[in-house]
Structure 1
Amino acid sequence: MSAEPIRLTSLAHGGGCGCKLDPAILRGLLANQPVAGPFERLLVGNETADDAAVWALDDGTCLIATTDFFTPMVDDPRDFGRIAATNAISDVYAMGGRPILALAILGMPVGRIAPETVAEILKGGASICAEAGIPIAGGHSIDTPEPIYGLAVIGTAGRDRVRRNSDARAGDALILTKGIGVGVYSAAIKREALPEDGYAEFLATTTLLNRVGADLAADADVHAMTDVTGFGLLGHGLELARGSGLRVVIEAGAVPLLARAEALAREGYVTGASHRNWAAYGAEVRLPADFPDWRRHLLTDPQTSGGLLASCAAAEAEAIRDRARAAGYPLAAIVGRIEDGPAGLRIEG
């Protein structure tokens, strides 16, 4: 009799973007690092916690470079590969670019996972890259205690289409293109408590490429973008606020949620990363009186392959939201605004 296959999630201490370093620890580490240096062509480095590095070429084209990898948040190996690849490619779209190639990053506990399982992870990643129209042109693999998979991705954009998280303007509206709740869904998956229809919804959102970012960047009324991943909507909203030196206001009631997100959060399916996120940056967030914990947990919920958060001219926000919906992001919504004031974040509603 063959042994029962090992669940991928049982080999990881955390999963997806929920296994990112605590945001406060990461800020401290980066604060003590030297700046990238006086490279004239380096348009975006690590100075504003942006989604990718950007390097200007002679002809006005910019190279966009990023890397992202994590441990499993699902047990199906092909699904794990698909989610990780979608998430990694997202950073290029968040900068306003289009991907051109990827390199695989693979770490596997040799002897604990069957080679056939690893092959399925790689096939899943390759299928998403094929959907994005790019090759996996190489990569690197090592023996690790936990399974790890992701990509390094290179993209391009015209210099006028690069979108940073630091160019929001006072008076802008904020649009979020995907629903929130991936973290609570992953917590339910780990406890085998998410029904099949919930898993289908989870997989649909986490494998939906953020290619709309390249289209939004072609619109001069879209001023800034970032994607919402492991630090949650509040954490990435704060990065936008800090980078732009402005106040982000999130209207809690307008934030789109996955279908079961509220119920799961109320039942206590909250990740450890959600608690770490709040502990790291909660002092910079103003909450309404009597704001319920379950709603706060959703706003700090770590999103793996989450949506784009775009800061755009308020007068055009509804039209831009509608374009995103028509492009295949039905939960796209106007979720807040940008105000003058010291950098920080306030929640309303």
Structure 2
Amino acid sequence: MTTIERQRLTQYAHGGGCACKIPPGELEEVVSGLTGPGSPAGNAELLIGLDTGDDAAVVRLPGAADGMAAVATADFFTPVVDDPYDWGRIAAANALSDVYAVGGRPLVAVNLLAWPRDVLPFELAREVLRGGLHVATEAGCHVGGGHSVDDVEPKYGMAVTGVADPELLLRNDRGRPGMPLTLTKPLGVGVLNNRHKSTGEVFEHAVATMVALNREASAAALDAGAVCATDVTGFGLLGHLYKLARASGVTAVVDADAVPYLDGARESAAAGYISGGTRRNLGWVAPHTDFGGADEDTRLLLADAQTSGGLLIAGEIPGAPVIGELVPAGEHALVIR
């Protein structure tokens, strides 16, 4: 076994993956009121910005052929798995997901790397970057360099630029009553990753779902005429669905029995492998949620902090389960039945 293989990267970070994000309630307080002014004459028109906490920024490019829009996003996090190559693949798929979540196509990415250079060998960093390049290449996205800093914790991700048709965007504020809710990846990577961090057990099926691109799901949503979607990442299914319901002025009803989970997720939740990020997610949405008869483990799994999760689409697409529907706004933004 080489030095690279012996390193447990998850032990060098206080959190893992998207579970290390700033809690949603705290983040909203920080960015409150920080939206920019309207577009000056002749400049690119901002189509999607900070207002509703959507997945990426989108601007209409003045003078571009066919009204082309540019999509911009950035995402990075601490190690979610111990294998550096897998971490790189997961982080890249997660960053690219923001472009797919608004109906865009990624064109070019730059790496974002923070590395404890006196603690971890650069051979590991190279493997992380190699993993990111592999997934970006799979997505047909160029990688054109990036930026690195010496840091006490390892972190990796990408800033991604893409393009989209401004008339065919997926937004989190376009949900309407009567729309079904479709989820394209199972939940549970958060508890499995936390178990991996605690025990060293490797869950290859969790890695496989995290490295899978949301490209086909995004294309299927657009083909189906969907106009509303978001991806499910660090704020969990309930957190991202709450943002969608709030932005759209509707109530979202979730059929808890219809939600798919990865093998071992329920057992891991019952065993207590719950991240702090997941508990903060649940605390944030609880005042806005009618949980019905859902038990504590179900509530936590629905709020499980996902890393590189699937798309949550207000509409039906082939091969993905319908887990609920949007209804007229009621007493609660979220209802679990």
Q: Give the TM bin, normalised by the shorter chain.
A: over 0.9
Q: Partners of 2:179 and 2:60 in 1: how far apart? A: 27
**How far is the alpha carbon of 1:147 from its aligned partner?**
0.2
User: 5+ unaligned residues in a row in structure 1: which ranges?
Assistant: 326-331
Is this contact kept in 1: 2:233–2:308, CA < 8 A? Answer: yes
Partner of 2:234: 230
Partner of 2:193: 186
Q: Partners of 2:82 and 2:135 in 1: how far apart? A: 18
SS of the counterpart of 2:135?
A: helix
Is this contact kept in 2: 1:169–1:223, CA < 8 A? Answer: no
Partner of 2:325: 337
Q: Partners of 2:236 and 2:3 in 1: how far apart? A: 38
**Which one is further off, 42-51 or 157-166?**
157-166
**How far is the alpha carbon of 1:191 from its aligned partner?**
1.6
Q: Partners of 1:112 and 1:75 in 2: how far apart? A: 15
**Is 1:71 equivalent to 2:78 in the alignment?**
yes
CA displacement, residues 288-326 of structure 1 (integer Å, 9 cap, x when unaligned): 13x2111111001000000000002xxxx3xx2x2xx3x
Is this contact kept in 1: 2:221–2:313, CA < 8 A? Answer: no
* Amino acid in the other structure paired with 1:168: G
* Amino acid in the other structure paired with 1:307: G
Is this contact kept in 2: 1:102–1:137, CA < 8 A? Answer: yes
Partner of 1:177: 184
* Amino acid in the other structure paired with 1:47: D
Partner of 2:22: 21
**Is 1:90 equivalent to 2:106 in the alignment?**
no
Residues matched between the structures, number: 328
**Is 1:211 equivalent to 2:211 in the alignment?**
no
SS of the counterpart of 1:42?
A: strand
Structure 2 counterparts to residues 37-116 of structure 1, below 5 A: 37-39=37-39, 41-57=45-61, 58=63, 59=65, 60-116=67-123
**How far is the alpha carbon of 1:220 from its aligned partner?**
5.5
Q: Partners of 2:218 and 2:263 in 1: how far apart? A: 27
Provide the identity percentage. Answer: 43
Is this contact kept in 2: 1:96–1:213, CA < 8 A? Answer: no
Partner of 1:142: 149
**How far is the alpha carbon of 1:192 from its aligned partner?**
1.9
Q: Partners of 1:17 and 1:189 in 2: how far apart? A: 15
Q: Partners of 1:159 and 1:191 in 2: how far apart? A: 44
* Amino acid in the other structure paired with 1:294: D
Partner of 1:168: 175
Is this contact kept in 2: 1:95–1:213, CA < 8 A? Answer: no
Q: Partners of 2:210 and 2:198 in 1: how far apart? A: 19
**Is 1:294 equivalent to 2:294 in the alignment?**
no
SS of the counterpart of 1:160?
A: coil
CA displacement, residues 132-151 of structure 1 (integer Å, 9 cap, x when unaligned): 01111121000011000000
**How far is the alpha carbon of 1:206 from its aligned partner?**
0.3
CA displacement, residues 175-232 of structure 1 (integer Å, 9 cap, x when unaligned): 00000001000111012263x5xx1101110000000244134336312010000000
Partner of 2:336: 347
* Amino acid in the other structure paired with 2:225: D
Q: 1:311 aligns with which of 295, 311, 314?
A: 314
| TM-score, length-scaled by structure 2 | 0.94
Partner of 2:267: 263
